[in-house]
């Protein structure tokens, strides 16, 4: 009972803080920031039913599926990242730790209800009439609870000071998409083992990368997400749900039970473990944090031999793995590896996996999904989802690595760490599946030309080296247009896409290299 009282008190504290923020924004006449915040919080979940309506209104099934998958990724990240502060101030000033955890959840209830309603509405729109039978109602309730489950899961991880399940969170909808398509509509007859291998590899990679320590809860969460995403994207699943047959009933009841069990267990874990929570984060005041391994790795010779070439290779690997300074995952500590082991992380990069997916799918259907997979293989091959090939590092600049050198280094990395393994994976897949299949060959060429486009994009007017948002917007527009065209992609259209990407990429790359060479003679390239 006292826990509940504390939780209510904590929720009130958080509400008071929010009121003060709003009052401050009003006093300063800064309505735009508040509006942006509200739009983001309420607008993004509302995209789920909007996309379901698009799916109903247009026959662009691929666009519907892709948008659902992209939105699923985004929503899981939004729910999982729901704010709950656990600083020293909070632990000392809130009535109790358990109350703080529960209070944060209580405070988020109105927003979670809104998100849940949007999520359930998306399924109701995708499977009209589902609400008339018990299975449908149970799935709708599970979808309603999904944002709460995801938010609690994210909070649990923060309470327990573990890493966020970012990779797994991003990959889950992709897995759901793949397996759903395979299981329900037999999109890939004859290649089912590829899907299973991809599933297991992705899941294993995600599990390792995100440091899963509660596999049962993660698996239960995976199942709930899978089912909630399967209904909007799969016609067969929607039909089964509307019919309310025994199979749908079984799946629906299991998912509902899992959802409720997850909410209870996550809350239980948080309250139980919150007293063991430690505030270990430290500002750099007491001695600055050591610099990242970028600089020393370049100049430090291989600890177990190998010379400067191995050291340089480690540098490439380090630079292209996310957050190399964190010690969360074994595979992120690539700089400590020696010998052939330093090549190991390369196989986990996203480019090769997406290339295998693109080449495999192109055997049975040359549609927008194949094109977008090929584009993603190039633009998402390493480090970040953004299209810039190098993130300019002020720290590196301070270590004496000029921005121009960083740009050139990024280009080298793109080809060495991005293109080579991706192309290798695509060619091996092509040889294994069907070496003389014209569609698959075209897909390999498309991947190469997409890499060229990525390398040359910032060389084209109106982009500059430091631009990140504009190329990203262009790429997003390109991806949506590609998917909207859907099944149009075949034969000549694919050839035009290859020529366009390769042509633009080559011109852009030439212009870019010219610009970078000029900057050697004139002034060093500076980033605004």
Partner 1 sequence: MSDTRDVAGDVAVRASGLKKRMGKTDAVMDVSLDVPFGSVFGLIGRNGAGKTTTIRMLLGLLRPDAGSSQVLGEDSLSLSKAARLRIGYLSEESFPYDDLSLPRTLEFVSAFFPTWDWDLSERLMERFAVPNDTPLDALSAGERRKAELVLVLAQNPDLLILDDPAAGLDTLVRRDFLWAALSVARDEGKAVLFTSHVLTDVERVADTVAFLEKGRVRLISPLDNLKARMKRLVFIGHARNGARLLVPGEITRRRERADLLVVTEHFDERETEALRASWGDVIVEDLNLEEIFIEVLGRGPETDDEAQT
Kindly list the residues in this chain that would bind partner 1 in the complex (CB under 8 A).
13, 16-17, 20-21, 23-24, 28, 85, 87-93, 95-96, 275-276, 278-283, 285-287, 327
Instruction: State in angstroms the smallest separation of the CB of 24 from partner 1.
Output: 5
**Cβ distance to partner 1 smaller for residue 89 or 496:** 89
Instruction: State in angstroms the smallest separation of the CB of 1 from partner 1.
Output: 16
Whole-angstrom distance, CA of residue 363 vs CA of residue 189: 10
**Cβ distance to partner 1 smaller for residue 276 or 395:** 276
H-state helical runs in 321-417: 350-361, 368-379, 394-398, 403-413
Whole-angstrom distance, CA of residue 42 vs CA of residue 46: 6
Whole-angstrom distance, CA of residue 515 vs CA of residue 353: 33
Determine the angle formed by the axes of helices 44-57 and 215-233, rounding to 10 degrees: 40
**Cβ distance to partner 1 smaller for residue 30 or 185:** 30
**Cβ distance to partner 1 smaller for residue 96 or 222:** 96
Whole-angstrom distance, CA of residue 483 vs CA of residue 257: 36
**Buried b vs exposed e over 224-240: b needs ≥16 C-beta within 10 Å?**
bbbbbbbbbbbeebbeb
CB atoms within 10 A of CB 496: 11
**Cβ distance to partner 1 smaller for residue 23 or 481:** 23
Instruction: State in angstroms the smallest separation of the CB of 29 from partner 1.
Output: 12
**Cβ distance to partner 1 smaller for residue 332 or 440:** 332
Instruction: State in angstroms the smallest separation of the CB of 19 from partner 1.
Output: 9
Instruction: State in angstroms the smallest separation of the CB of 156 from partner 1.
Output: 19
Instruction: State in angstroms the smallest separation of the CB of 96 from partner 1.
Output: 7
Whole-angstrom distance, CA of residue 422 vs CA of residue 353: 8
**Cβ distance to partner 1 smaller for residue 28 or 400:** 28
Whole-angstrom distance, CA of residue 455 vs CA of residue 468: 13
Whether 378 contacts 422, CB under 8 Å: yes
Supply the DSSP symbol for 466: T
Instruction: State in angstroms the smallest separation of the CB of 323 from partner 1.
Output: 17
- Write out the two tokens for 287: 């001695």
**Cβ distance to partner 1 smaller for residue 278 or 394:** 278
Instruction: State in angstroms the smallest separation of the CB of 57 from partner 1.
Output: 41
CB atoms within 10 A of CB 388: 21
Whole-angstrom distance, CA of residue 152 vs CA of residue 45: 17
46 closest CA partner among 92, 18, 78? 78
Whole-angstrom distance, CA of residue 220 vs CA of residue 118: 22
**Cβ distance to partner 1 smaller for residue 280 or 309:** 280
Whole-angstrom distance, CA of residue 443 vs CA of residue 81: 36
Instruction: State in angstroms the smallest separation of the CB of 27 from partner 1.
Output: 9
**Buried b vs exposed e over 97-127: b needs ≥16 C-beta within 10 Å?**
bbbbbbbbbbbbeebbeebbbbbbbbbbbbb
**Cβ distance to partner 1 smaller for residue 17 or 344:** 17
Instruction: State in angstroms the smallest separation of the CB of 445 from partner 1.
Output: 49
**Cβ distance to partner 1 smaller for residue 37 or 301:** 37
Contact partners, residue 486, CB within 8 Å, separation at least 6: 60, 61, 62, 63, 367, 368
Instruction: State in angstroms the smallest separation of the CB of 28 from partner 1.
Output: 8
């Amino acid at each position: 009972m006292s826990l509940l009282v504390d939780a209510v008190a904590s929720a009130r504290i958080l509400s008071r803080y929010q009121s003060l923020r709003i009052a401050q924004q009003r006093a300063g006449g800064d309505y735009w920031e508040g509006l942006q915040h509200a739009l983001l919080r309420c607008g993004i979940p509302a995209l789920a039913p909007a996309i379901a309506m698009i799916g109903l209104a247009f026959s662009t099934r691929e666009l519907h599926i892709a948008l659902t998958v992209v939105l699923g990724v985004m929503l899981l990240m939004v729910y999982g990242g729901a704010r709950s502060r656990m600083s020293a101030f909070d632990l000392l000033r809130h009535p109790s730790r358990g109350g703080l955890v529960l209070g944060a959840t209580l405070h988020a209830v109105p927003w979670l209800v809104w998100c849940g309603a949007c999520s359930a509405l998306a399924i109701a729109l995708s499977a009209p009439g589902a609400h008339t039978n018990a299975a449908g109602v149970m799935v709708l309730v599970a979808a309603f609870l999904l944002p709460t489950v995801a938010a609690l899961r994210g909070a649990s991880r923060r309470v327990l000071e573990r890493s966020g399940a970012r990779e797994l969170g991003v990959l889950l909808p992709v897995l759901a998409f793949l397996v759903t398509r395979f299981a329900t509509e037999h999109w890939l007859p004859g290649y089912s083992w590829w899907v299973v291998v991809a599933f297991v590899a992705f899941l294993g990679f995600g599990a390792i990368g995100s440091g899963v320590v509660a596999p049962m809860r993660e698996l239960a969460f995976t199942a709930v997400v899978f089912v909630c995403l399967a209904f909007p994207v799969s016609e067969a699943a929607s039909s089964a749900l509307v019919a309310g047959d025994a199979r749908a009933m079984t799946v629906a009841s299991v998912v509902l039970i899992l959802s409720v069990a997850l909410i209870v267990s996550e809350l239980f874990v948080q309250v139980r473990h919150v007293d063991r929570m430690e505030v270990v984060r430290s500002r750099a005041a007491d001695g600055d944090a050591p610099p990242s391994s970028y600089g020393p790795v370049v100049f430090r010779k291989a600890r177990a031999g190998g010379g400067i070439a191995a050291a340089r290779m480690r540098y490439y690997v380090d630079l292209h793995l996310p957050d190399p300074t964190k010690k969360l995952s074994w595979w992120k500590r690539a700089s400590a590896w020696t010998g052939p082991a330093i090549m190991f992380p390369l196989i986990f990069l996203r480019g090769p996996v997406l290339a295998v997916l693109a080449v495999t799918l192109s055997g049975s259907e040359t549609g927008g999904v194949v094109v977008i997979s090929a584009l993603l293989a190039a633009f998402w091959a390493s480090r970040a989802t953004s299209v810039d090939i190098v993130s300019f590092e002020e720290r590196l600049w301070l270590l004496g690595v000029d921005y121009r050198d960083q740009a050139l280094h990024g280009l080298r990395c793109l080809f060495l760490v991005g293109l080579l393994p991706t192309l290798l994976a695509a060619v091996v897949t092509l040889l294994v599946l069907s070496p003389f299949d014209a569609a698959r060959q075209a897909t390999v060429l498309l991947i190469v030309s997409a890499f060229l486009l990525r390398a040359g994009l910032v060389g084209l007017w109106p982009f500059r080296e430091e631009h990140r948002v504009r190329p990203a917007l262009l790429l997003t527009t390109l991806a949506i247009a590609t998917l909207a065209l859907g099944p149009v992609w075949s034969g000549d259209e694919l050839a035009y896409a290859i020529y366009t990407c390769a042509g633009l990429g080559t011109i852009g790359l030439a212009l870019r290299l010219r610009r970078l060479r000029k900057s050697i003679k004139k002034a060093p390239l500076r980033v605004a």
